Amino acid sequence: MSAGTYRCTQCGKDLTVSSTKHLPPCSACGNGSYRTITGGDSVDDPYPDKGQKTRHD
């Protein structure tokens, strides 16, 4: 997992992480599955492994 925002697939709660190997269970419902909203693993990013983007968050 990369830094970014993820959304619980069960209850829809957003989880924002800076860096993690795996995401913790949802604090609201305990679900462990998320979809990517923003971040390096986003399915919308065609080159998730290039790491050459410049971000200004």
The residue type of 44 is D
Work out which of 4, 6, 15, 26 binds Zn ion, going by CB under 5 A: 26
- Of the pair 33, 57, the CB lying nearest Zn ion is at 33
Piece in contact with Zn ion (CB under 5 A), picked from 16-24, 30-38, 39-47, 48-56: 30-38
Q: How far is CA 19 from CA 5, 10, 11, 31, in A?
A: 11, 22, 22, 19
Question: Is the Cβ–Cβ distance between 24 and 18 less than 8 Å?
Answer: no
Work out which of 1, 3, 7, 13 binds Zn ion, going by CB under 5 A: 13
- Of the pair 39, 48, the CB lying nearest Zn ion is at 39
